[in-house]
Each structure stands twice: as structure tokens, then as C-alpha cells.
Amino acid sequence: MRFWGRGLSRPRTYPDSLGWCLMRLDQDVRTLTAELVDIASESGNEKPLADAVEAALTRLGHLTVDRDGSNVVARTHLGRPERVVVAGHLDTVPIAGNVPSRIDGDRLYGCGTTDMKSGVAVQLKLALLTEPNRDLTLVFYDCEEVEAARNGLGMLVREHPDWVRGDFAVLMEPTDGEIEGGCQGTMRAEVRTTGVRAHSARSWLGVNAVHRAAEILNRLLAYEPRKPVVDGLAYHEGLNAVRIDGGHAGNVIPDECVVTVNYRFAPDRTEAEAAGFLAEFFAGFDVRITDSAPGARPGLDHPIASAFAAIVGGPPQAKVAWTDVARFSALGVPAVNYGPGNPEVAHKRDEYVELAKIVEAERVMTSWLT
């Protein structure tokens, strides 16, 4: 069976105990992507891949390599006036019968191909640059696809901020080869109504809390999203009910109902301002914030970002979602999202990446840094 054309060799699937010693960074970036996919790294089980990345980077004498858990950071120390950080996560969502990788036409299929082992492959190729025009930090981290408390980049920001600081950062999340600036913040809140419990046969003796939730839903139906322009990019906010809980039994008038809402807010608002908006929007109801993460401004007015945008070409877009660029923003580091994968196919059973997009991303990043 022919898997690879155009001079590419079929990567093998490595046992966990051997994968770390076999990765070669001087191979074609498309082959390297497939090799990364074939080393399983579901969230929480990134160690074999982290071992492989660490071993490959340690062999390069121009880099210092640090590691904490399954998080690996490699840096040049050339005394350049600017430092660029390029980051990507090693983990994938659970495998769904889509490993090992396979090629079909111009696409590479497999778990993590688009989100984001193709981006990680480009990062690894950048490690071969011995004389980049800016000092370079490469960050490979774990547990991005699960709850924020386990996020490896978050841990590095808290525990080793000196490892990941720079003047500008590129997070190689899938963007289909476009620049997506900054990211929106996200906030979840519980909006609660109360009533009086009673037997449903004598409902007039109670007050139905579920019925009172109709006002919450009516306000959401009438909501008009903000569409602010932030640093030249147009964002689109969203406020939606994502869950409703209420009721005790089939013959009981409920005395409490909770509508969980998710607010996606543009990066011109702080978390405090977003919380204030929710309190005002749901005035008269009990509003409790249960989860929150700040947005990040695009930072595209930074000279480094301008140079990067010129090489990528095309107009940058706003990231209408939350990504880890917000963690760099918390350090005062402007950051953008850029990667070869198509976000619309991320996490799907038939996830794929276009081979040409991987090659183009390597060209763009290499051109920018040389």
C-alpha cells in the first residue's frame, strides 16, 4: 500500500519506550508531522512525546533546554535585542481510531494533525536555526485540551515566568495559515431564580422558579452582541444560555432554577468589566460567576508583529475564541495565533491537515526569523 508520494517516506509508529531516541528534526516537515501524530499524546499522557521532543532538542548545541513535567522549553542566547516566543501544546483529544496517521491525496489524516501537531512540527524545524535574527524561545506544553487548572503553559507562567518571557509570541494554534490576533475572554455565570416549593396539585400555594427563568431567557433572546474594533480587528461578542437546572420531582413545584450562561467578551473589556456587564444585564437576579479567563489584545501595532504580518500576507483576523495567547498577555507579551491547521476540523474523527499548509507555515516562520 502506498502511503507517501512526492519523495516522502512513511513514518513508523514507535513504541513509547523507543520513540524518544528516533526523532530526527532534519527530515521533511510533513514527515515529521506524521511522526508526531504516531506518538500518542492524549491529555495527561504526553510524557513519551515530551521525551522525544526533549531528546531531539538537547542534541542541538545552540539551545538551552529546560523541562518541568511534560513541558519543554528551548532557548537561544545570542544577545539579540528582541526575543520571540513560539509555543504549542503537545496533547490531543482522545484518539478515536485515527492513529497511526495516513495520507490521502494532499491531506494528512490523524488525531492531532491540525490541532496541533503540524504546528509543533514547524516549531521543531525552527529549532534548527542557529542564527535567527531574534533570540528564540520554543515552548512545548501539556494539558491544553482539558481543564485550565492542568494547563502546562499556565504552570510555566506561574512557576517559571523567566522561561517564557519575550517581546512577542506566536501560538501555533490552527488558523488555516492566517494570523488571528489576540483572543476573546470567556466567563461563565449562574443566574438563579427562587420560588416556593409546593405540591403540583395545589400549585397556587407555591411559586414556580422555573417559570421565573422565562425572564432570563427573554433577556438573552433580546441580547444584541457588541462588535467592537480592538487594535484594528473586529470582534463579535456572544452571550448564551448553555445549561438549565431546576426541579425536584414530577409532582413538586420547583423553588429554584439556575440558568448557566457563557459570555464571550472582546479584549477591550477586563474580567471585572465583563462581570459588571452581567450583573447589570441580569439585574434583579442572583448572578454568581463560576469561571473566568481574560482576553488578550492583538498587539499587532508592535513592530515585530507588523513584520510577521507582512510575511504572512493577507489581513489579520480577530480570534473569536479564547486561546492561550491570554497567558502571554498576562505577562505583558503581545501574542497572535498562527498555525497550518484548519480549526473547523479539529477534534473530529477525520481530522486532517493539508500538507501544503504545513510547508507554507514552515516557510513563513523561517523567513520571518531569518
How does strand 286-293 pair with strand 185-194?
A: antiparallel
| Residue 144 designated active-site | yes
For 80-136, the DSSP string reads -S-EEEEEEE--BSPP-S--S-EEETTEEESTTIIIIIHHHHHHHHHTT-SS-SSEE
3-state secondary structure of 272: helix
Supply 167's cell numbers.
517581546
* Neighbour tally for 217: CB within 10 Å: 13
SS3 184: coil
CB contact burial 126-138 (16+ within 10 A = b; e otherwise): bbebeebebbbbb
- Grid cell locating 120: 509543533
State the helix-helix crossing angle for 118-126 and 47-58, rounded to 10 degrees. Answer: 20
Out of 144, 255, 324, 362, the active site residue is 144
Of residues 91, 135, 180, 231, which has the active-site annotation? 91
Catalytic residue positions, numbered: 91, 144
